Chains A and B, each alone.
Chain A
Amino acid sequence: MATLTHLQRLEAEAIHIMREVVAEAQNPVMMYSVGKDSAVMLHLARKAFYPSPPPFPLLHVDTTWKFQDMYALRDSMAKKIGMELLVWHNKEAEERGINPFDHGPLHTDMWKTQGLKQALDHYGFDAAFGGARRDEEKSRAKERVFSFRTASHGWDPKNQRPELWNLYNARKAKGESIRVFPISNWTELDIWQYIMAENIEIVPLYFAAERPTFEWEGGLFMADDMDRLEKVMGKKPEITMKSIRFRTLGCFPLTGAVESEAATLEDVVQEMLLTTTSERQGRTIDKDEGGAGMEKKKQEGYF
Chain B
Amino acid sequence: MPTSDTDSQTYETDALIAEDIGAYLDQHQNKQLLRFITCGSVDDGKSTLIGRLLYDSKMIFEDQLTALEDDSKKSGTQGQEIDFALLVDGLAAEREQGITIDVAYRFFATEKRKFIVADTPGHEQYTRNMVTGASTADLAVILIDARKGVLVQTRRHSYLAHLLGIKHLVLAVNKMDLVDYDQATFDTIVADYQKFADEIGIESFTAIPISGFKGDNITQAPSANTSWYDGKALIDHLESVELANTTAQERAFRMPVQWVNRPNLDFRGFAGLISDGTVKPGDKVRIVPAGKTSTVKSIVSFEGDMDEAAAGQSVTITLDDEVDCSRGDVIATADDPPEASDQFEATIVWMDDEAMKPGRGYFLKLGTQTVTATVQAPKYEIDVNSFEHLAAKTLELNSIGVAELRTDRPITFEQYSTSRQLGGFILIDKITNATVAAGMIHFSLRRAQNVHWQPTAITREDHANKMNQNPRVLWFTGLSGSGKSTIANAVEQRLAQMNRHTFLLDGDNVRHGLNKDLGFTETDRIENIRRIGEVAKLMADAGLIVLTAFISPFRAERQMVRAMLPEGEFIEVFVDTPLEVAEERDVKGLYKKARAGELKNFTGIDSPYEEPQNAEIRVNTVDMSVEEAADYVVAQILPLI
Quick check: A141 and B88 within 8 Å, CB to CB? yes
| B316 CB–A CB distance under 8 Å | yes
| B618 CB–A CB distance under 8 Å | no
Query: What's the least CB distance linking B95 to chain A, in Å?
Result: 8
Residues on B with beta carbons closer than 8 Å to the beta carbon of A46: 302
Residue of A at shortest CB range from B20? A270
The contact size tier of chain B is 35 or more
Please provide the chain B residues from 315 to 362 with a CB less than 8 Å away from any CB of chain A in the complex. Answer: 316, 327, 351
Complex-state Cα separation, A22 to B272, whole angstroms: 12
Residue of A at shortest CB range from B250? A1
Q: Which of B104-112, B178-186, B189-197, B465-473 contacts A (4 or more CB under 8 A)?
A: B104-112
Quick check: B314 and A11 within 8 Å, CB to CB? yes
Q: Mark A261-284, 1 if CB is under 8 A from B, else 0.
A: 000001101100111111001000
Q: Knowing A20-B258, A164-B438, A277-B62, say if A9 contacts B104 (CB, 8 Å).
A: no
Quick check: B426 and A169 within 8 Å, CB to CB? yes
Q: Knowing A135-B107, A165-B135, A276-B62, say if A291 contacts B258 (CB, 8 Å).
A: no
Please provide the chain B residues from 401 to 429 with a CB less than 8 Å away from any CB of chain A in the complex. Answer: 420-421, 424-426, 428
| A7 CB–B CB distance under 8 Å | yes
From B62, B107, B271, B366, A19 is in contact (CB under 8 Å) with: B271
Residues on B with beta carbons closer than 8 Å to the beta carbon of A53: 263
| B128 CB–A CB distance under 8 Å | yes
Quick check: A172 and B433 within 8 Å, CB to CB? yes
Complex-state Cα separation, A171 to B363, whole angstroms: 10
Residues on B with beta carbons closer than 8 Å to the beta carbon of A20: 258, 368
Q: Which residues of A does B touch, CB under 8 Å?
A: 1, 3-13, 15-16, 19-20, 22-23, 26, 46-53, 134-135, 138-139, 141-142, 157, 161-167, 169, 171-174, 184-185, 187, 189-190, 193, 196-197, 266-267, 269-270, 273-278, 281, 291-292, 295
Quick check: A266 and B22 within 8 Å, CB to CB? yes
Quick check: A49 and B105 within 8 Å, CB to CB? no
Quick check: A276 and B61 within 8 Å, CB to CB? yes
Quick check: A165 and B420 within 8 Å, CB to CB? yes
Query: What's the least CB distance linking B602 to chain A, in Å?
Result: 12
Residues on B with beta carbons closer than 8 Å to the beta carbon of A48: 271, 314
Quick check: B17 and A185 within 8 Å, CB to CB? no
Residues on A with beta carbons closer than 8 Å to the beta carbon of B135: 164-165
Between-chain CB contacts (< 8 Å), 7 pairs: A4-B313, A6-B113, A8-B313, A23-B259, A164-B135, A167-B365, A295-B92
Quick check: A16 and B22 within 8 Å, CB to CB? no
Q: Knowing A4-B313, A50-B302, A167-B424, say if A22 contacts B259 (CB, 8 Å).
A: yes
Please provide the chain B residues from 77 to 119 with a CB less than 8 Å away from any CB of chain A in the complex. Answer: 87-88, 90-93, 95, 102-107, 109, 113-114, 116, 119
Other than the given A6-B31, A135-B59, A190-B114, 17 more pairs (CB < 8 A) read: A4-B33, A6-B113, A12-B312, A12-B313, A16-B258, A19-B259, A20-B258, A23-B258, A51-B267, A138-B87, A162-B435, A172-B433, A193-B29, A266-B21, A270-B17, A276-B62, A278-B64
Complex-state Cα separation, A34 to B228, whole angstroms: 56
Query: What's the least CB distance linking B458 to chain A, in Å?
Result: 42
